[in-house]
Structure 1
């Protein structure tokens, strides 16, 4: 079992440390937080969202890629999150990369232990990353998605969607919520 460091860290220090630790962690304001084990509903929802994003990218032929949980998004010098899924566009990452510097879409799936963080602290944090256009908070229990979108003049627009199609432009993806929630 690993021991979490007591001293505050920068993201660079955290990534060097975390790479050699068992388990998964996030860094918030310089403090390391272990990520809790996930429940079956959470794991299934992550998979369904990841597959839907991957399928939408392929169908549109976009130069984008979906990456599942495990990749780091640097928010600032002392905060780094690991979203449940993300999409970035452009050149493929180096095979040894552990960080995605310019995500366009980030996704978190609500769980009992992370709901307040996902809808508060992470909402503000992800939109401090200039490339983030869409932040999706997926609620598997209530079959809805809270879609936060960066609008004109960095205004964050929020929609709560439970049926129909979710438009993620840019980069130009569409997700059918009926298909996503059909298996959950």
Structure 2
């Protein structure tokens, strides 16, 4: 007796960045990223996370104005394309150079990328995203902000290597593009 023939499972090809951006424009889903061709929904954010994100954006915007740098800070929404199948949406980023077009969904030249970690994103932010962001030549600084410990991990590209500094107080020097960021401006005062 012959073995029954089973049909193979359909092979789904990974979504490309261009397909993801078209999908995201029409999606009602709040926030999502594309990771190796798969759409990943982002978890809702707690108030503390949102406050710190806003503080970082404000501090970076003020630092850009003070330095008269040809850069712009963005909070949420603008993506960073890592490759053909990966697009992240950092919490805050600084894009330098030519102004980002009004209809753009991607930052063309992100120099500073910031992720405020949450319990569900800690491993991804400190491992996979760290390696991925530094695949982009434009990225010079990656800040991983831990609100619970009031700590910033400052990864900086220096002379072809990436160095990390643990910062709990004082000022971060983000050069290039020549900005300074005081940690007192990032973390709300304890309640």
| TM-score by shorter chain over 0.5 | yes
Q: In structure 2, what is the equivalent of residue 27 of structure 1?
A: 34
What secondary structure is seen at the aligned counterpart in 1 of 2:187?
helix
Aligned residues: 178
1:48 aligns to 2:47 (yes or no) = no
1:14 aligns to 2:20 (yes or no) = yes
What displacement does 1:182 show? 4.3
State TM-score, norm by structure 2.
Answer: 0.90
1:77-110 per-residue CA deviation (whole Å, 9 max, x = no partner) reads: 1101000000011121111111112100000001
Q: Unpaired segments of 5 or more residues in structure 2?
A: 1-11
Alpha-carbon distance in structure 2 between the residues aligned to 1:179 and 1:21: 34
Alpha-carbon distance in structure 2 between the residues aligned to 1:181 and 1:83: 18
1:48-70 per-residue CA deviation (whole Å, 9 max, x = no partner) reads: 11111001001111111001111
Alpha-carbon distance in structure 1 between the residues aligned to 2:141 and 2:76: 17
Structure exhibiting the larger radius of gyration computed from Cα positions: 2
Question: Which of 173, 180, 185 is matched with 1:167 structurally?
Answer: 173
Q: Unpaired segments of 5 or more residues in structure 1?
A: 1-5
What secondary structure is seen at the aligned counterpart in 1 of 2:148?
coil
The answer to whether the 8 A contact 1:30-1:78 is kept is yes
Q: In structure 2, what is the equivalent of residue 115 of structure 1?
A: 122
1:137 aligns to 2:139 (yes or no) = no
Alpha-carbon distance in structure 2 between the residues aligned to 1:28 and 1:107: 18
Q: In structure 2, what is the equivalent of residue 102 of structure 1?
A: 109
Alpha-carbon distance in structure 1 between the residues aligned to 2:55 and 2:153: 16
What displacement does 1:178 show? 2.2
Q: In structure 1, what is the equivalent of residue 73 of structure 2?
A: 66
Alpha-carbon distance in structure 2 between the residues aligned to 1:114 and 1:18: 21
State TM-score, norm by structure 1.
Answer: 0.93
Alpha-carbon distance in structure 2 between the residues aligned to 1:44 and 1:147: 20
Alpha-carbon distance in structure 2 between the residues aligned to 1:183 and 1:126: 30
What secondary structure is seen at the aligned counterpart in 2 of 1:70?
coil
